[in-house]
Structures are given as structure tokens and as C-alpha cells.
Structure 1
Amino acid sequence: MSSSSSVLIPPPQSRGIVLACGQLCLDYLVAVSSFPKPDDKIVSTNFKVQGGGNTGNALACAARLGLASRIIAKVADDSQGKWMLEEIESYGVDTSFCLVSKGGTSHFNYIIVDNQTNTRTCIFIPGYPPILPDDLSDSILETALDEVRVLYANGRSREAELLLAQKAASKNIPILVDPEKKRGGLDELLCLVDYAVCSVNFPQEWTEAPSLPTALVSMLVKLPKLKFVIVTLGEEGCIMLERCPNDILESEETDIESLLDSLKKKTDQTSTLPICISSRVAKLKENVTGRLFIGTAEKIPASELIDTTGAGDAFIGALLYGLCESMPPEKMLPFASRVAACCCRGLGPRSTLPFRTDPRIAASML
């Protein structure tokens, strides 16, 4: 990209390091004109081998945006493991804390991208052996957390992530987690987190609340350390509930569903670029005061929409950047949506991740 087509922005500042613990994967991506039927033999329209995994994708995104990024993961001493480490290092991610097991197999995915429906089907082949608490000595934890601004985890390597999160919490390092579904041992990790980014079904599944809005309030009730929770809704954008100080004067509680409905009516759904609107600060439950946000997604022309694999990870990578830059939600949510939209314009989770000089996002980083 020529400098004339880029928005000039300041060079990266010293803003600390983002550390993540989780999985690195190898993705075998194949695009097809339509999903095959049983016993079909079809020809692919595109094929790519690329690094993957939620943790690796999010950090690759954060690194391209200019954040110093560091990962703790475990791979086998096979050719896939070596390739994955080299590939994510090429994005600028520090792999010096990654472990290489003698023997075993590395994680990998088969991903079928359906060009007709713009959907993807993932077949995950778990690697072995997994990363465990015994792999993380006190000296490793201390060194890995040095100068860390935010810790990111997704709950898949729960025992190791919990040990790391406990150490981070003792150092007052904020923790972001993106739980996809209920897993054994996840509750202990959630009690330590400052920020949660959830799939659409998780809040109700975890809280057993009757609706999504009430589930978001329940998460703030159950997790008193939680500063905000975001639910991602794909092409419909996202909803965020932010905890606010309990110093408003009103005594009556505001119905969260009514608050969300009123916010939806004010949202401009015709905007091509992502926008964010917020509610007033309201008392939602006893000792829970909050502000609700709706963030819309970028409307991607059908001719440009290639693959949604990794879009959620790119969204999280951009949120990590926003948190380190102390972006307000009104700026952070549209920025993260624009970054995720860039990811959707190429095959695989990393091929079209934007650099911080990309004119599509650079102006919103100022």
C-alpha cells in the first residue's frame, strides 16, 4: 500500500503488552460453490492453509494494529507445530513462552466455506498433550506477566488459564475472556474477569435468565468484578452492558428490556459503516447501575464478503487494542466492527487482517 493512500497516524506508543493463553491451530480452508451432499465429489473454488485458533487469531490482529503481543500455548514437535509458531511470529507475536512437547500432535481444523450461504463449517481435531498448570512454573508466570496491560483467555485450556488469571488478578492486571459455552471449571475463571465478550447464547445458558437483556444484568450481579459484558450478534452487530458507579439518584429500577427496545428504535440501521449509540445510566438491579450500548456491524457488499472465519477473533483483537488505548465504548465498538469486517473480505482468519495504517481503520484510531 502506498503512503499516499494511507492516513498518517502516530507510531505505536508504549502501552504495555497483551498476553494470551490458549490454543494455536492450523486451518485447512476450502471454499466451495455450495456445501456438498453425501457422496458428492466437487471441485473447490479456493484453498488455503493458514494459522488459526481463537487465541492466535486475536493476537495476530492485535499485533497488526500495533500492540506488543505475547502468547502462551503448547504445540507438538511436528511439522504443523513448527509452522504455526513461525507463522504467528511473522505477525509480530512473541512466542518465547510457547511450549513444544516431545511427541503428540498439534491442533488443526478442517474448514469448509460455503460461497452460496456465506457460512463455514469447522471440524476441529484436538491436539495432544494439552497445556496444563504443571507447564507453568512461578518463574514463567512472573516473567510472562511482566509489563502486561491486559490478559486474554477463552476458557478452552481452563486449568492453565485459571492459574495464569489468578496470578494476573493478584497483580491487578485486567482480564478479558470470551466464553463460547458452559464448560467445566469456567465459573472460577469468570469470577476473576474484568471484561467478557460472549457468543449470543452464552449469557442465558450460563445465568438461566429468561431473556438476553436480563441475562446481561444477571452477569453483572453474579460477577461483581465485571466492568462490561458484550454479546456479539454477527451481521446484527453487538450489545454491550457497562457497569457504572452506583451514585445516581433515581430509586426505581429500569426495565432492561424496555431500555433495549427504546435504544433499538433510535439506531440507524441504514448506515453502511458501523455506529454505536448508548442509553442513559440507569439503575437495573439493587447495587447494579449500568449503561446499555448497541453497536451495528459494517454492511459488507455481497461481492466483497468472502469468509466470516475468525471475524469474532478479529473483533476481540480490536477490543484489546481499544482497551489499551482507553477508547470509550462509543469509539471502540465501531472500530472493532470495522476490523472484523476487514477480516471477512478474504479466505481464512488472518489473510486480510488490517494493519494500523490501513485507511479503512486508521482514521478511527486517532
Structure 2
Amino acid sequence: MPNLCTVSSNASSNFIFGVQPHNFYNVFGSRRTRPRCRVSMSSSDPQNAVVVGCGSVTMDFLATVAAYPKPDDKIRSTSLKVQGGGNVGNALTCLARLGLNPRLISKVSKEGTSPFTYIIVDNQTKTRTCIHTAGYPPMIPDELSKSSLLSALDGAKFAYFDGRLPDTALVVAQEAVRKNIPILIDAERPREGLDDLLKLADYVVCSAKFPASWTKASTVPQALVSMLLRLPNIKFVIVTLGKDGCIMLERSVDGPSTEEVDVDSLLESLEIKRDKSVSIPTCISSSVAKLKAEGIGTVSGKLYVGTAESIPPSELVDTTGAGDAFIGAVIYAICAKFTPETMLSFAANVAGAKCRDLGARSGLPYRADPRIASFVLEKLSSSA
């Protein structure tokens, strides 16, 4: 089936159910422009898969400054870039560049205010500050017809939700479950309706602060155990830690002699094995164990510690959207059946490549990029 590209509209907004897979910059069409479809993937490609995303698309205004302004300062930007943004839009752009076929369910304004984000990139500290303005009114389920929903999910191999548009996202997720389409949720922060989405998830990727905030556990490892206990359908949960990499807890099946270990102690033992002299992303994993979180419970699983790429200061430009790039790469890795160790290293490489250019999308690597091509070629060779 060709990549879906249908737009329904009313007096105030466009609802985009599919956009061109290789260039997501033109989703903010005027009355005279509509998203165009373009498919260049070979049908024989084993990684060829349709991924449906539902959530946020924005226009990003990226202003670089020599240093972040003090209160009541007036400063000039050193550069300005305008490009598409939003968690789901960025992750799907990542997937498109890696060769998959994305479809997007979201809403942008035709005559009112679309979501936009003003991003201040500090050249001195290499940090970014995001000021987001939500679009109005938000998308509601009644605006997504049953026929459009079924068309968007037709032939899909994966579904991704960033937690925005919660009422609409829940309708899409429930239909995905009925069609046995795996679901990944981006748990960036507690949001209205997120709990209902998490109950339907197969995979969760969350920010550093989310696990403890959501579970009230005192440490990240304990919080990950709590999440797997509270969400029995989840296969794994990843918490991203920026320059410190990530931690992943994968659910496993108990063996006859599975050892019980304290999850905090296990993480400490893995952290000791980090080789800080290695600049490329690596992954350290435990064996399957009964992971105990004091006062919470025990879950059978395997713990992974993934490192981030150590990017030289002269090459680090902007971290905006690094988490979205990471998630896009994780989804690709799941579709391509990478091992967890390969998946985490691959995702860290993709995120690192993104950080070498301004904005969430400019630096996203294409499939043939030398920094990631080895992962793809290795998988293709092993599948041959």
C-alpha cells in the first residue's frame, strides 16, 4: 500500500494523517499547499515498515545566542532557523530518514494558532531553553473519522504516542491494540490521560525524572521495577539520562535457578564496568535475575546500562530533539529486531549525530550515514 496522504479540514484546521516520509518540513500547509507523498523504499527491504505516530507537531523557531540573557536584558541572536518540530514529528522524521514509512495523526491550524516553540540555544553552555505555545483548540476524537483511523493503521507494524492529544491518542491506541500493533509511549512527564495510554503500551521510553515522579520510588532502578509491576504488558522501559546515557529494564521469564538481587546494587555493579575512556556508545548488561526493589516488589528481568556518545565540544551544536532521535532509533531497532545491546548503542549514535546540527531535525542521519550504516548492514547480513 502506498504511504497514506489524506487531509480532512474544516474552517479552522487541517488534520494530517500522513505526510511525505523523507521530508517532514512541509506539514504546515497553507490553503494552497497540501502534504505530498513520496516513497522511495524497496518493497524487498526487510526493514520496510509502516509506523503510525499520534501527537505533537510544531513549528520551531531556533535562535542561537552567545550567552543566555539575564533578566531584563536585550540581546541579539547570532543565527535563526525555522523548522518543523514536536516529539512525534521529530521521531517520525528520524524513522523516515532511516528508511521506514511514517504516518502522522495530528492537528495544525489553518487560520488560528498552530503549536509553536521558541528555542533559545546558548552557544556558551551548549544548552537550550524551550518556550512552547500550544495550538488551539486541541484535536478531539470526533475530528478523526473511523475511516481515516482505519486507513492510517492499515498495514502498520508499529504505533508511537508522545502523550499529547490524550483523548484522540487513546482512541488510536485502542484500535492499534485491536489490530495487534505494538505500541511505544514517550513518557516525558505526567500528563492528563497518560496513565490510560501506558496501560496499552508494549514499550516505554521516559525522561530522567518521570519514573520517580510517576511511581514515587526513591531511586530510578526501583522506579523501573515498579513500572514493570504496575504495567504488566510492558516488555521493557528505558529512562534517558542525556550525556549520561540510559538505563533499560527488560522483562524476562524466571528460570529454575534465577537469582534474586537488589536492583540498586545491580545498577551500581554495572556502572563500575563503564569505560569512560571510550567515546563511542556502548552497552553493559546483567544476566537475568529476580530484581528486588525494597518495599515495592520483585520482577524477573535484565538490566542494561547504555552510554552516550562523548561528543567533542567543538562538534556539539544543539541538543534539541536528541530524545526524539533516540526514540525514533529505538522504534527502528525494534522493527529491525536488533538485540537490546545493539539497539541502545544504535540509538545513542543516532542521537549523537543529531546533536551536531541546529534544531531537532537538521542533524538526523540518513540510513547511509557512516555513523549508523554499520548497524544496518550488520543486520542485513545476519538476516541474509
TM-score by length of 2: 0.84
Number of residue-to-residue matches in the alignment? 331
Match in the other structure for 1:131: 139
SS of 1:149's partner is: strand
Q: 1:203 aligned to 211, 219, 227, which one?
A: 211
Counterpart residue type for residue 297 of structure 1: A
Match in the other structure for 1:112: 120
Q: 1:256 aligned to 260, 263, 284, which one?
A: 263
Match in the other structure for 2:49: 16
Match in the other structure for 2:354: 343
Q: 2:59 aligned to 21, 26, 33, which one?
A: 26
Match in the other structure for 2:68: 35
- Per-residue CA deviations over 1:244-299 (Å, capped at 9, x if unaligned) read 1123423x631000110111111212211000010010012577210000000001
Q: Equivalents in 1 of 2:192, 2:136: separation in Å?
A: 19
Displacement of 1:104 in angstroms is 2.3
Q: Would you say 1:352 and 2:360 are equivalent positions? A: no
SS of 2:278's partner is: coil
Q: Equivalents in 2 of 1:248, 1:299: separation in Å?
A: 40
Q: Equivalents in 2 of 1:157, 1:124: separation in Å?
A: 15
Asked if the contact 1:12/1:67 (under 8 Å) is kept, the reply is no
Q: Which range is displaced more, 58-67 or 175-184?
A: 175-184
Alignment of 1:233-312 (within 5 A): 233-250=241-258, 253-285=260-292, 288-312=299-323
Distance of aligned partners of 1:248 and 1:288 in 2 relative to their CA distance in 1, 3 Å threshold: farther
- Per-residue CA deviations over 1:105-126 (Å, capped at 9, x if unaligned) read 1111110000111111111011
Aligned alpha-carbon RMSD (Å)? 1.4
Identity %: 58
SS of 1:178's partner is: strand
Match in the other structure for 1:45: 78
SS of 1:30's partner is: strand
Q: Equivalents in 2 of 1:324, 1:23: separation in Å?
A: 22
Match in the other structure for 2:230: 222
TM-score by length of 1: 0.88
Asked if the contact 1:248/1:282 (under 8 Å) is kept, the reply is no
Distance of aligned partners of 1:289 and 1:111 in 2 relative to their CA distance in 1, 3 Å threshold: same
Asked if the contact 2:173/2:197 (under 8 Å) is kept, the reply is yes
Asked if the contact 1:107/1:126 (under 8 Å) is kept, the reply is yes
Q: Equivalents in 2 of 1:47, 1:186: separation in Å?
A: 34
Displacement of 1:365 in angstroms is 1.6
Displacement of 1:53 in angstroms is 0.5
Distance of aligned partners of 1:248 and 1:306 in 2 relative to their CA distance in 1, 3 Å threshold: farther
Gaps of 5+ in 2: 1-41, 378-384
Q: Equivalents in 1 of 2:128, 2:119: separation in Å?
A: 7
Match in the other structure for 2:163: 155
Counterpart residue type for residue 123 of structure 1: I
SS of 2:260's partner is: coil
